[in-house]
């Protein structure tokens, strides 16, 4: 499994889309850093300005400002990079099943489920790397310049990676019934787009019979939106306000992956 993990990481990092992704993450990270100006004031105070238009400033204190900035940066990592990383990582499953390559991989002494699980973990790692590249530089710089540590960003990273992992699980399952990477990517994107919609299902006017269906869908499907909110909240407060989205998404991943690994083991190619 570890062999498969490293190979999958190697494979995903050798894809152009993954390099573009990490490159872009780096560019936005640097760009955002350039927009943020920190000026030391007397009494260990700082003026922190985002952009060059001096808006009417509100004094919310340095720590709050720093967290606010990191949170803004994270907002991009949680949307754009989730989608981007999905394009880079979802094909990790279908590429395993390519004719001619499948025969090489699946005739070796490592079980298919281990190969698949290694690729799943590599996908999650790819996202975590992108997230880190996009957000950590700002957090580290703020620590260095203002002495405010935003260590909460690492927990936020785990929350977002969990959200990404649920999409990877969907991609893994969608790679089995057919060949090619389109269905895995579409499946992941669809679940991700569906999640804010399910979160706000109560606000919608729907036929009465639709409501219980949506309720159940909400309970079952990964809660990407809520995980994103939980990450922002954690950055501000340092507390996990609701555990339900976390464990229910965890259960979703476990069930979908267990089914996928079992299917790939018993499938005849």
Partner 1 sequence: MTNTNAVIETQDLHKVYPSWRTRLNLAPAVPALKGVSLRVERGEIFGLIGANGAGKTSLVKILLGISRPTSGAARLLGGVPGDGAIRRRVGYLPESMRVQDHLRAESLLHLMGRLNSVPSSILRRRIPELLEQVGLAGVKKPVKEFSKGMNQRLGLAQALINDPELLFLDEPTDGLDPLGRKEVRDLLTRLRSEGKTVFLNSHLLSEIEMVCDRIMILHRGEVARTGSPEEFTRGAGEVVIRLTAVSEAVRAAAAGVAVVAWQATALRFTPRDQAHLNEMIDRLRAASADIEAIEPVKESLEQFFLKVVAA
Is 208 a binder of partner 1 (CB under 8 A)? no
Q: Which positions from 105 through 144 interact with partner 1, judged by CB under 8 A? A: 105-111, 115
Nearer to partner 1, 5 or 234 (CB): 5
Nearest-CA neighbor of 8 among 121, 101, 173? 121
Is 175 a binder of partner 1 (CB under 8 A)? no
Is 7 a binder of partner 1 (CB under 8 A)? yes
- Give the binding-site size for partner 1 (rule: CB under 8 A): 25
Q: In sequence order, what are the residues at sequence separation of 6 or more whose Cβ sits closer than 8 angstroms to the Cβ of residue 27?
A: none
Is 269 a binder of partner 1 (CB under 8 A)? yes
Is 52 a binder of partner 1 (CB under 8 A)? no
Nearest distance from C-beta of residue 83 to partner 1, angstroms: 23
Is 236 a binder of partner 1 (CB under 8 A)? no
Is 177 a binder of partner 1 (CB under 8 A)? no
Angstrom distance (rounded) from CA 164 to CA 197: 17
Is 268 a binder of partner 1 (CB under 8 A)? yes
Is 43 a binder of partner 1 (CB under 8 A)? no
Is 181 a binder of partner 1 (CB under 8 A)? no
Is 98 a binder of partner 1 (CB under 8 A)? yes
Binding site for partner 1 (CB under 8 A): 3-4, 7, 10-11, 14-15, 95, 98-111, 115, 268-269
């Amino acid at each position: 499994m570890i062999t498969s993990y490293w190979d999958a990481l190697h494979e995903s990092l050798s894809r152009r889309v993954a390099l573009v992704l990490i490159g872009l993450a780096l560019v936005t990270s640097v760009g955002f850093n350039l927009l943020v100006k920190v000026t030391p004031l007397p009494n260990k105070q700082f003026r922190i300005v985002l952009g060059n238009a001096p808006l009417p400033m509100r004094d919310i204190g340095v720590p709050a400002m720093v967290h606010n900035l990191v949170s803004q940066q994270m907002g991009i990592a949680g949307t754009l990079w989730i989608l981007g990383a999905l394009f880079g990582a979802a094909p990790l499953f279908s590429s395993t099943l390519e004719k001619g390559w499948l025969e090489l991989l699946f005739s070796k002494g490592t079980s298919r489920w281990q190969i698949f699980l290694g690729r799943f973990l590599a996908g999650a790692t790819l996202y975590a790397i992108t997230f880190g590249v996009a957000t950590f530089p700002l957090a580290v710089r703020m620590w260095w310049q203002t002495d405010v540590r935003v260590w909460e960003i690492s927990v936020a990273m785990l929350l977002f990676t969990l959200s990404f992992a649920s999409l990877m699980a969907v991609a893994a399952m969608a790679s089995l019934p057919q060949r090619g990477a389109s269905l895995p990517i579409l499946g992941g994107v669809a679940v991700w787009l569906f999640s804010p919609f399910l979160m706000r299902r109560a606000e919608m006017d729907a036929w009465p019979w639709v409501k219980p269906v949506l309720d159940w869908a909400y309970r079952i499907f990964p809660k990407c939106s809520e995980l994103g909110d939980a990450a922002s909240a954690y950055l501000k407060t340092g507390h996990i306000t609701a555990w339900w989205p976390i464990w229910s998404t965890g259960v979703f991943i476990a069930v979908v992956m267990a089914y996928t690994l079992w299917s790939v083991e018993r499938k005849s190619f």
